[in-house]
Amino acid sequence: MLTLEDILNSHRTGTAVVMGILNVTPDSFSDGGEFLDPAAAIAQGRRMIEEGAAIIDIGAESTRPGSQRVPPEEQIRRLKPVLPALATAGAIISIDTTSREVGQFAIDSGAKIINDISAGQDEPELMALAGRFSCGYVLMHMLGQPRDMQADPRYDDVVAEVQDFLARRLEAARSAGLPAANCILDPGIGFGKTPQHNLQLLANLRVYRHMEQPLLIGASRKRFIGQVCNLSQPQRRLAGSLAAAIEAYRQGASIFRVHDVGETVQALKLAQAIREQEK
């Protein structure tokens, strides 16, 4: 079983870390409503751990394109029967939130990572909270907000602009008392990007290596895979999701946020074994 320290050092060791997605929401893009029932959510979390997930990322607010914000009290109501039950199930628990209030509940209930799609911009106190409790913290790039991020995303150079943003947010984390050693970077595949932007980011992940932080990629089942491969149903995008994960691992990413845990674990295990034989 990987520890938080193992995960935060995965970019140095070459360890491929799988983060299983668990949405306790009615409206997430791929599995909305499937795990709104607490018993179903707990069973799914345990299933993903058995399949090899080192992290379970639990979210109680959909961040799909066009989604609306969910009040912290409603997020906590959805999380209460699920998160504490999985905190001792054998994986590191991550909470997918931008709210300090939700973050505090999750940490009190056993979460060790905060996955913040706003990179600390929505509620800067969330970074300070993570620092006080020595949590891991995912800093993700997003252009706009979920409700409008896909309206008309534009960049002069998406790779450089995302890199500059993440560097600034890493400095903001340090200023908030959150050490860089606890930070994970996420270029935000699908969050305010066209299919071309997503492909450009995936093709150039190697440029982030000099930042010397673990890199998380969340491409699983996303719309750009369907657009490239002409697949309208998210559940049919497994092969494309695996291709994105393997290419990201080849370029230096070490944490992979996915829906299909068992298949991704198998693919990355082979990729890691191949890498270990390089001369």
- Active site residues per annotation: 222, 257
Cα–Cα distance for residue pair 91/111, rounded to 1 Å: 10
One-letter amino acid of 264? T
Cβ(262)–Cβ(240) below 8 Å: no
Indicate the DSSP class of residue 75: H
CA 17 to chain centroid = 11
Cβ(191)–Cβ(139) below 8 Å: no
The torsion region of residue 221 among left (phi > 0), alpha (psi -120 to 50) and beta comes to: left
Cross-strand pairs, 20: 56, 258
Burial degree of 131 (CB within 10 A; 0-12, 13-18, 19+): middle
First to last CA, the chain: 28
Cα–Cα distance for residue pair 115/43, rounded to 1 Å: 22
